[in-house]
Amino acid sequence: MGNKSPAVPPPILTWIQITVLTLGGGPVTNVEIEVWGLYLKKTGPHNQLKFSVSEEDYDNIIAVRGNTIDVKVRKHHFGPPDPGSDHTCTPGESHKVFNVTKGIVNQLDPMILQDAGLNRFTDKFEGIPARNLTMLQARNALLCLHREGEITLIPEPTFKHTEVDTCDSACTLGHPMINELVQIKPLMAGSVEIRYIDRLPNFDSFLPGIERDKVKTRKLSLMALDPRYTVAVYRLVKMLKDKHSIVKLYHLGMSGFKPQPPRVNDDCHSQGRALDFGGVGLEDIGLGDQDIFVVYDWGNMPVYDEHDLTLPPAERRRSKGFLWTSAEDPSNQRPMPSYIWPTKKMKLPYRLETLPPHGNPKAAEIFQDVYTFATEQFQDAAGGPSKIGQSSAIMNPDHFTSDPGEDPQHPKPHVHGREAHRDHMHIQIGSTGAEPVLPPVAG
């Protein structure tokens, strides 16, 4: 038998995978990628490039550079998240240095490019209450917030660019248009999750030991939102994050929708102008459960005794409940618990003004701050600002209006008194009923 040639070991290849995204996580296609200043490649119609480096090249180039790789990505009319106030990208370029390992697939962290057209949107109109913003101002404020990574519009803003390198007023915005309802990811102020409440266990209890970890919530895309309202909600979330370190905002309804029977007509909810605020999740600082809910920490706290409302807060007794009689059917009587106010229109105090047994001082402060903020940015009573307990568009467990229906403790859906708002605060932009729908306009 002849001698066999020694086996040749397979080549050791080092793979490099580069992904290019927008700040909102969307793909950027047809991007030029420069590696080590030597290799020039292009992502083509995709936003990802994967290529191999031979063992010889790795040893000759990467190893002598300390096992690092220099990557530059560039595309005309694009740049880093803030390419600069002059709006120029000729072409826009982002540069990073990555550590790499020989002989494996190195999936590098995404490179970020942003459409330079966003650079002209720098005003959040913070000096104007959200309810007073024009649709143009609100749209432009949202573009600024998207550019800064405070919100993510879905789909992301699009521009039609000219053939020249400079991105200027000749490069026109395609989406979103003026008056267009918007969709955003359920994340605001950079890091606060917006979560829908699916289930509230122990709905009628305010005693300690409520199993709050069994409250079911989920993230839902926020859709069909009025731009003015979206700015207002963002400002609310930002205030709560800055002042109270919230990491979650809970709601019982926030998106717009098409009305379904038995509801027929549009209103502030279906038109994407109303938030049913359900509570917040606080930053975990080692104290265990940090969730605060309107129903447990406000709506199910005992109210003041009706006969003591004119007394100083510290001298008021708490209610022990009462026997309720239906105005429509006197034979319909039932005992009401201590957290239900008498069923009539009346100016009320904030029940958490002094803390009841088991009351949470942080919750009392947060709910007051949300209400005060709503009087400043959302719709309030004519001649406001109002206070908790007065007549206002800001519905809550201590609202002036009573609408008990057939059961004040468990009112039917779509009633409008404080009884139906034991588990949330309702805040809105514009009127409660339907408003004229304006057609989208380019600009």
Q: What is the percentage of the chain residues whose pLDDT exceeds 70? A: 91
- What pLDDT is attached to residue 116? 86
pLDDT band at 60 (very low <50, low <70, confident <90, very high): confident
Higher pLDDT, 123 or 215: 123
Higher pLDDT, 101 or 209: 101
- What does CATH list as the number for 14-114? 2.60.40.1120
pLDDT band at 78 (very low <50, low <70, confident <90, very high): confident
pLDDT band at 87 (very low <50, low <70, confident <90, very high): very low
pLDDT tens track for 319-342:
999 999 988 888 889 999 999 999
pLDDT higher than 70, residue 82:
no
pLDDT band at 313 (very low <50, low <70, confident <90, very high): very high
pLDDT higher than 70, residue 384:
yes
What's the rounded mean pLDDT across residues 200-227?
81
Q: Which of 20-34, 212-226, 272-286, 298-312 is the most confident on average?
A: 298-312
pLDDT band at 1 (very low <50, low <70, confident <90, very high): low
pLDDT tens track for 141-185:
999 999 999 999 999 999 998 877 667 777 899 999 999 999 999
- What pLDDT is attached to residue 150? 95
- What pLDDT is attached to residue 337? 92
pLDDT higher than 50, residue 29:
yes
Distance CA 166, CA 132 (A): 34
- What pLDDT is attached to residue 214? 81
Q: Where in the chain is the domain with CATH 2.60.40.1120?
A: 14-114
- What pLDDT is attached to residue 229? 98
- What pLDDT is attached to residue 65? 84
What's the rounded mean pLDDT across residues 8-33?
88
Half-sphere exposure of 287 (CA within 13 A, CB side): 7
Least confident of 203-212, 270-279, 345-354: 203-212
Distance CA 94, CA 78 (A): 9
- What pLDDT is attached to residue 57? 87
- What pLDDT is attached to residue 286? 56
Supply the mean pLDDT for the chain: 89
Higher pLDDT, 261 or 115: 115
pLDDT band at 198 (very low <50, low <70, confident <90, very high): very high
Token digits of residue 314: 């510290």
pLDDT tens track for 92-148:
678 899 999 999 999 999 998 888 889 889 999 999 999 999 999 999 999 999 999
pLDDT band at 207 (very low <50, low <70, confident <90, very high): low
What's the rounded mean pLDDT across residues 32-42?
79
What's the rounded mean pLDDT across residues 371-381?
98
